[in-house]
A and B are shown apart, each in its own frame.
Chain A
Amino acid sequence: MSRRRIGIGVRLTAGFTLVVVLLAALALYAVWVSQEALQASVGRGSVFLADEMLKGIDHNLYFRLEELQKYTQDLTLQKVVAGSNREFDQLKDAQAYITEKDQAWTAAPVQTVTPFMQALLNNELSAELNAVFIKMYEKKYGYAIFDEILVTNKYGANVAQTGKTSDYRQDDEEWWQKAQEQDFYVSNMEYDESTGTYGISMAVSIDDDGGNRLGVIKAVVPVGGIAREAEFAARKYETAEIELLTQDGRRIYATKPFRFLEDISDKTFFKRIEAESGFFVVEEAGREKLFAYTSSRGYREFAGLPWVLVVDYDVEEVLKPIFGLRNNILIASAVLIIISIVIALSVSRSIARPIVKFRHAAEDIARGQLGIQIDPQLLAVNNEIGDLARSFTTMAQSLAQRQQEVTERTRQLEVSQEALRESEEKIRKIFLSSPDAIIVSDLTGHITACNQAALNEFGFTTEKDLIGQNGLDLVAPQDRRQAGKNIQKTLKQGTRGESQYTLITKNGRQFPAEVSSSAILDAKGQPVSFVIIMKDISRRKRAEEELIQYRDHLEELVAARTAELNERVTEIEQLNNAMTKLLADLQTTNRNLERTARKLQVANQELEDFAYVVSHDLKAPLRAITQLADWISADYKETLDKEGQEMLQLLNHRTRRMHNLIEDILQYSRVGRLAEKERKIDLNQLVREVVEMLAPPEHIRVTLENKLPLVVGEPTRLEQVFQNLLANAIKFIDKPEGQIRINCVAQAAGWTFSIADNGPGIEEKYYPKIFQVFQTLAPRDDPESTGIGLALVKKIIEAWGGKIWVESEIGRGSAFFFTFPQKEANNLEKH
């Protein structure tokens, strides 16, 4: 049978709560005991109080009786009563007189006061009685101590009275007779017709000093006044109520509204009244009340009245301190239970949570997760939990270390096993795939394993055929003995031995074999088996035999090879001779070429010299002519007529044109012949300088449409190109606002430059012509137009490997394009 599992938290909570509940129960039990004790104490006290109150009532009644008795000795009273007696004594028939007056008295209407009555009510004694017994107490206490006082003479006739009585004759009344007989009389509660209320009649005989009966004085004592006088003693509690009951359960007086003589015998509390006195608790009107009661016992000669005085209190008020204590205990218990539950939960959590963590950690460890981390807060706790946590951590770390060691060992073992397995596999493969026959035998020589080569070698199909046989059976009989000795030697020495035997196959074929054997030792170094490797050396034997035969035929072969080699050497010598001859021819040709090159160089020098000489020699007379013309023009300016001056000017123009022509020819001839050292050129700067040099008129605007590149080239040639093209453009612009736009477009292998103008344009038929020498569209007399400019430009550009062309539209302008190759400065950035 499995026991139901109850957690620590539940146990602790239940335990704490149980303790608190037990304490609360104990406290409540103490309260209950105190409550009972207090209730009993109050009950007994209340009984005592009720007893005292009732005694007080009895005493009051007795004192009133005594007061009456004392008053009977009053001289005025005695005098009046005695006087009345004397008057009645003198009557012929006093009884008849009384009867007559009584009849008249009773015959009068209830509300009517006859003069006879009035006289009695207003006589001196009546006034004194009223003042002494009624008014005085009313003023003092607020209620009447005596309701009525009546005095009769010895005949029973009224002598004085404070209120109207129901009749005039009293000798027929019980109180009068008893008073006459017993000196005094106290009635039970009775209805008094004269006052219309219930009261107690007490009567005392009036005696003279000689003890003679003079009359009777009677007083009606109101019940309320009697009880009320004593009730204040019971006002210990606000809820206190006092009731005066007859023994048969009729209410005579109460401190709360009541109906006189109301029958309350069916009330629960009245049914509990059994003994002479006592107390009990019952529920009345929805409230728990403590009732205490006692019966009248009289005082001295006054026997008392058959009354029960009941005092009741609200239990809640009586036991207020206890109830307060009880409520406080209940509240405190509730608070303590809550606190205890919270503490229990907290404590249980502080215990159970680490345990749960330990359990989880243990489960993790069980699962092999040794790298667990115990909560640092637990480790910091300085109690048993902390000790456990630290021990647990130490244990876990130790286990982790062990596991790590085991893991490392396992890994090493696995590595070893793997190596071993690989080794075994390797050996097995070697064993299986070895071309040599290998067999393994036990110490008795019986074969326990063999490879395929062994099967093949000995002519067996399956291992079963070979395994189990004695290995010596595979040795030819002639070598078998020696083989057995060698095996024994191997076993003894544990070393490998190599021998050559003749082996024998299944079919009886014998073949030579090289046999090596080695012992396999156990861990103690003792041989358990041995391995025998057998290599068929039949072929080797045959090869050795063939080698011997080859050695015998080697000389013949060498002689044959030497003859072949000699033939080849002869062929090579012949080929070498042919090559030498060819080389001599080439040298001759080369020398011829060098001579031709020198001739060409001389020719070029001569041509250059010629051009220089021509230009220089031609330029000298031209300068002389020009100078002479200038002199003539200067000296004979006044002499020459207009035509002469025009002729001189024409001469001047022609000579300058000739000079320019010669200069251009000289330049043209130098292109491609004289190379200038190339360098990096900033075309932007170069073009700016060219434009500044040309100084175009103000109406012509030269614009660089984009930034020109940095190129590598001959600066003078580039300047000649831009100078000629720009000069042509400036020269031919016929518009009031001339525009020359210089543009450059980068290409894959260089740049394409364009110089466009808004000049008159060139007809397409002139396109080829304008690039030819001495071809110009300008007037022949223009000294600046030699017809060499564009030819020079074209020659320069083509010398670079570029080309030049023109695009034009008549009336709108022309654009000259030329390409410029990108040279060595590849590292220069294109713009």
Chain B
Amino acid sequence: MKQTLSQIQAKFGPKEIINAGVGLAVIALLALFFILWKGEKTIKIGAILSLSGSTMYVGEETRDGMLLAVDQINTWGGVNGQKIELIIADSQADPLKGEAAFNTIEATHHPILYASTLSGVSIALAPLAQKNQVVLIGLATTAPEFTRQNEWVFRYFSTARDEVPPILAILAELRVKNLGVIYIDDAFGRSFFVLARAEFEKAGGVVSGESFDGQSLNFQKQLARLKNTEAIYVAVNPGHLESLFKQVQEAGYNGPILAAGNASVPAVRSLPEANGVYVVAPIIYAPDFLYAREVSEKYEAKYGKPFNHYAAGGYDLIKLLAGLLEGKEISREQVKKLLEQGFTYPGVFGELNVAPGEHEIGFPFHPAQIVNGEVKYR
């Protein structure tokens, strides 16, 4: 039986009006939600970083750089309409824990690629990347063997090959012929020591190497054995540098101290003991390098801490991937293909030219010196 409108109206009480209003509001909110909500599928990137222990600094800075880039990209709709989702896990600088994190992320998120920090962890993850047919990009991973014979593994960081030549240039400038090297006895330290010794000896110098296990912060024995060298080059983790610099001063060593690129980061170079240390540094610390300065300002504004090349590596990697994937199908194979076909990328480390088939995406280091907490390029 049809009801007349007046009959329907007559049935409208306050309760019906409120219900109608609430119903309409819910419908409107749902409509607005569906209008404004655009994220469906996300581009997942696994990040297995060293977020605790002596290398925590590296992992945290890398993570924050990645998050800055992700935020910027996602703010404007992501990549091809898909937002980037970073799946972060702490490797605790432990290869086994890194593997466990990889397997967990793989099982739960199946990201399109992984990024990892530290040579030990990255080397352990490389077979897993190969096995799962997913790209693994090493950040703050310097060990040369990382990228060897593994088609799914790429490096986005400098190696000894990038850092040692500017060190040699400094040594040449300083006319050092007898060099002492203190290096951490891991893939990173050994690679730096081996290359530096080879190149320095090739140029006619003499190298004395002293390793340490990375656990002890007592370098007195090593320093005692290197007291007669003209200069000491240190290739250790950032967390070791403060103690090392102090002990060098305490030992009364008068020769120049040279350090790997990780000493150029603000956390290290701001140490009083680091003043005067020769380092190699990427271009991001150059105040005239406007592009890096722009990112640096955003980073500092967001996190309240100075920008550094670990953060820059994380930031640039995300930007690089976003740029490569723009307008392309998003898949694990596509990531690999895009990286392998070579590209030019004007990122925060300057213009990177990556040849087709190249798995090493390094960035240049320049001779420099820490002066009053700042990097002075030479």
Partners in one complex: yes
List residues of chain B with CB within 8 A of the CB of A353.
Answer: 9-10, 12
Q: Is residue B53 within 8 Å, beta carbon to beta carbon, of the partner chain?
A: no
Q: Is residue A287 within 8 Å, beta carbon to beta carbon, of the partner chain?
A: yes
Q: Is residue A103 within 8 Å, beta carbon to beta carbon, of the partner chain?
A: no
Of the candidate stretches B107-115, B174-182, B319-327, the one touching chain A is B319-327
**B341 close to A9 (CB less than 8 A):** no
**B351 close to A334 (CB less than 8 A):** no
Of the candidate stretches A104-112, A140-148, A634-642, the one touching chain B is A140-148
- Give chain A nearest CB distance to B165 CB in angstroms: 14
List residues of chain B with CB within 8 A of the CB of A654.
Answer: none
On whether A228 and B24 interact (CB within 8 A), knowing A9-B12, A197-B353, A285-B80, the answer reads no
Select from chain A the residue with minimum beta-carbon distance to B328: A285
List residues of chain B with CB within 8 A of the CB of A681.
Answer: none
List residues of chain B with CB within 8 A of the CB of A286.
Answer: 77, 80-81
**B289 close to A141 (CB less than 8 A):** yes
Q: Is residue B79 within 8 Å, beta carbon to beta carbon, of the partner chain?
A: yes
Q: Is residue A687 within 8 Å, beta carbon to beta carbon, of the partner chain?
A: no
* Selected contact of A228 from candidates B9, B20, B31, B346, CB within 8 Å: B346
**A285 close to B32 (CB less than 8 A):** no
* Selected contact of A7 from candidates B8, B17, B283, B327, CB within 8 Å: B8
List residues of chain B with CB within 8 A of the CB of A228.
Answer: 291, 346, 351
Q: Please measure, in the bound complex, the distance between the C-alpha atom of A197 and the C-alpha atom of B31, giving whole angstroms.
A: 54
**B12 close to A345 (CB less than 8 A):** yes
Q: Is residue A553 within 8 Å, beta carbon to beta carbon, of the partner chain?
A: no
List residues of chain B with CB within 8 A of the CB of A613.
Answer: none
Q: Is residue A717 within 8 Å, beta carbon to beta carbon, of the partner chain?
A: no
Q: Is residue B292 within 8 Å, beta carbon to beta carbon, of the partner chain?
A: yes
On whether A352 and B9 interact (CB within 8 A), knowing A142-B283, A257-B344, A257-B345, the answer reads yes
Select from chain B the residue with minimum beta-carbon distance to A238: B72
- Interface-central residue, B28, B320, B341, by most chain A CB under 10 Å: B28
Q: Is residue B212 within 8 Å, beta carbon to beta carbon, of the partner chain?
A: no
Count A-B contacts at CB 8 Å. 131
Q: Please measure, in the bound complex, the distance between the C-alpha atom of A627 and the C-alpha atom of B291, giving whole angstroms.
A: 169
List residues of chain B with CB within 8 A of the CB of A235.
Answer: 294
Of the candidate stretches A336-344, A380-388, A688-696, A729-737, the one touching chain B is A336-344
On whether A10 and B5 interact (CB within 8 A), knowing A142-B292, A235-B294, the answer reads yes
List residues of chain A with CB within 8 A of the CB of B286.
Answer: 139-142
* Selected contact of B377 from candidates A139, A225, A330, A331, CB within 8 Å: A139
- Give chain A nearest CB distance to B26 CB in angstroms: 10
User: Could you tell me which residues of chain A, from 454 to 509, have a CB within 8 Å of some CB in chain B?
Assistant: none
Q: Please measure, in the bound complex, the distance between the C-alpha atom of A314 and the C-alpha atom of B323, giving whole angstroms.
A: 14
Q: Please measure, in the bound complex, the distance between the C-alpha atom of A259 and the C-alpha atom of B9, giving whole angstroms.
A: 69
Select from chain A the residue with minimum beta-carbon distance to B75: A238
**A285 close to B344 (CB less than 8 A):** no
User: Could you tell me which residues of chain B, from 8 to 23, have a CB within 8 Å of some CB in chain A?
Assistant: 8-10, 12, 17, 20-21
- Give chain A nearest CB distance to B377 CB in angstroms: 5
**B5 close to A7 (CB less than 8 A):** yes
User: Could you tell me which residues of chain A, from 319 to 338, have a CB within 8 Å of some CB in chain B?
Assistant: 327, 330-331, 334-335, 337-338
**B344 close to A259 (CB less than 8 A):** yes
Q: Please measure, in the bound complex, the distance between the C-alpha atom of A256 and the C-alpha atom of B343, giving whole angstroms.
A: 10
List residues of chain B with CB within 8 A of the CB of A138.
Answer: 366
- Total interface residues on B, using CB and 8 Å? 49
Select from chain A the residue with minimum beta-carbon distance to B285: A142
Q: Please measure, in the bound complex, the distance between the C-alpha atom of A143 and the C-alpha atom of B350, giving whole angstroms.
A: 6
Q: Please measure, in the bound complex, the distance between the C-alpha atom of A8 and the C-alpha atom of B9, giving whole angstroms.
A: 9
**A260 close to B80 (CB less than 8 A):** no
Select from chain A the residue with minimum beta-carbon distance to B342: A259
List residues of chain A with CB within 8 A of the CB of B77.
Answer: 286-287, 314, 316
Q: Please measure, in the bound complex, the distance between the C-alpha atom of A314 and the C-alpha atom of B75, giving whole angstroms.
A: 11
- Give chain B nearest CB distance to A687 CB in angstroms: 87
**A224 close to B351 (CB less than 8 A):** yes
Q: Is residue A232 within 8 Å, beta carbon to beta carbon, of the partner chain?
A: yes
List residues of chain A with CB within 8 A of the CB of B291.
Answer: 228, 231-232
**A9 close to B9 (CB less than 8 A):** yes
User: Could you tell me which residues of chain A, from 640 to 682, have a CB within 8 Å of some CB in chain B?
Assistant: none
Select from chain B the residue with minimum beta-carbon distance to A5: B5
Q: Is residue A69 within 8 Å, beta carbon to beta carbon, of the partner chain?
A: no
Q: Please measure, in the bound complex, the distance between the C-alpha atom of A359 and the C-alpha atom of B9, giving whole angstroms.
A: 13
Q: Is residue B288 within 8 Å, beta carbon to beta carbon, of the partner chain?
A: yes
* Selected contact of B344 from candidates A142, A258, A334, CB within 8 Å: A258
Q: Is residue A239 within 8 Å, beta carbon to beta carbon, of the partner chain?
A: yes
Select from chain A the residue with minimum beta-carbon distance to B290: A232
* Selected contact of A352 from candidates B6, B21, B351, CB within 8 Å: B6
**A331 close to B32 (CB less than 8 A):** yes
- Give chain A nearest CB distance to B32 CB in angstroms: 6
Q: Please measure, in the bound complex, the distance between the C-alpha atom of A556 and the C-alpha atom of B223, giving whole angstroms.
A: 194
List residues of chain A with CB within 8 A of the CB of B32.
Answer: 330-331, 334
Q: Is residue A781 within 8 Å, beta carbon to beta carbon, of the partner chain?
A: no
Q: Please measure, in the bound complex, the distance between the C-alpha atom of A813 and the C-alpha atom of B375, giving whole angstroms.
A: 145
* Selected contact of B350 from candidates A142, A231, A239, A330, CB within 8 Å: A142
* Selected contact of A5 from candidates B4, B76, B283, B292, CB within 8 Å: B4
List residues of chain A with CB within 8 A of the CB of B1.
Answer: none
On whether A334 and B28 interact (CB within 8 A), knowing A142-B292, A238-B76, A258-B344, the answer reads yes
**B9 close to A338 (CB less than 8 A):** no
Q: Is residue B25 within 8 Å, beta carbon to beta carbon, of the partner chain?
A: yes
Q: Mark A229-269, 1 if CB is under 8 A from B, else 0.
A: 00110010011000000000000011111111000000000
Q: Please measure, in the bound complex, the distance between the C-alpha atom of A342 and the C-alpha atom of B346, giving whole angstroms.
A: 57
**B9 close to A287 (CB less than 8 A):** no
- Interface-central residue, B283, B291, B319, B346, by most chain A CB under 10 Å: B346
- Give chain A nearest CB distance to B7 CB in angstroms: 9
Q: Mark B323-363, 1 if CB is under 8 A from A, else 0.
A: 11011000000000000011111100011010000000000
List residues of chain A with CB within 8 A of the CB of B351.
Answer: 143, 224-225, 228
Select from chain A the residue with minimum beta-carbon distance to B298: A238
List residues of chain B with CB within 8 A of the CB of A284.
Answer: 327
User: Could you tell me which residues of chain A, from 339 to 398, have a CB within 8 Å of some CB in chain B?
Assistant: 341-342, 345-346, 348-349, 352-353, 356, 359
**A287 close to B24 (CB less than 8 A):** no
User: Could you tell me which residues of chain A, from 261 to 317, have a CB within 8 Å of some CB in chain B?
Assistant: 284-287, 314, 316-317
List residues of chain A with CB within 8 A of the CB of B292.
Answer: 142
**A139 close to B366 (CB less than 8 A):** yes
- Give chain B nearest CB distance to A356 CB in angstroms: 5
**B341 close to A345 (CB less than 8 A):** no
Q: Please measure, in the bound complex, the distance between the C-alpha atom of A9 and the C-alpha atom of B286, giving whole angstroms.
A: 71
**B289 close to A142 (CB less than 8 A):** yes
Q: Please measure, in the bound complex, the distance between the C-alpha atom of A232 and the C-alpha atom of B292, giving whole angstroms.
A: 11
* Selected contact of A349 from candidates B12, B289, B344, CB within 8 Å: B12
Select from chain B the residue with minimum beta-carbon distance to A260: B344
Q: Please measure, in the bound complex, the distance between the C-alpha atom of A8 and the C-alpha atom of B5, giving whole angstroms.
A: 9
**A287 close to B6 (CB less than 8 A):** no
**A327 close to B36 (CB less than 8 A):** yes
List residues of chain B with CB within 8 A of the CB of A330.
Answer: 32, 35
List residues of chain B with CB within 8 A of the CB of A239.
Answer: 76
Q: Mark A130-143, 1 if CB is under 8 A from B, else 0.
A: 00000000111111
Select from chain A the residue with minimum beta-carbon distance to B282: A142
Select from chain A the residue with minimum beta-carbon distance to B72: A238
- Give chain A nearest CB distance to B362 CB in angstroms: 15
Q: Is residue A523 within 8 Å, beta carbon to beta carbon, of the partner chain?
A: no
On whether A359 and B6 interact (CB within 8 A), knowing A256-B323, A259-B344, A317-B76, the answer reads yes
Q: Please measure, in the bound complex, the distance between the C-alpha atom of A232 and the C-alpha atom of B297, giving whole angstroms.
A: 14
8 contacts between A and B (CB under 8 A): A140-B286, A142-B292, A143-B283, A254-B344, A257-B323, A334-B31, A352-B10, A356-B9
12 additional A-B pairs beyond A140-B288, A348-B9, beta carbons within 8 Å, are: A6-B5, A7-B6, A7-B9, A9-B9, A224-B344, A238-B76, A256-B323, A256-B345, A286-B80, A335-B28, A337-B24, A342-B24
Nearest 8 CB-CB pairs, A to B?
A7-B5, A256-B323, A142-B283, A286-B81, A285-B327, A142-B289, A257-B323, A342-B21
Give me the interface of B with A, judged by CB distance under 8 Å.
4-6, 8-10, 12, 17, 20-21, 24-25, 28, 31-32, 35-36, 72, 75-77, 79-81, 283, 286, 288-292, 294, 319-320, 323-324, 326-327, 341-346, 350-351, 353, 366, 377
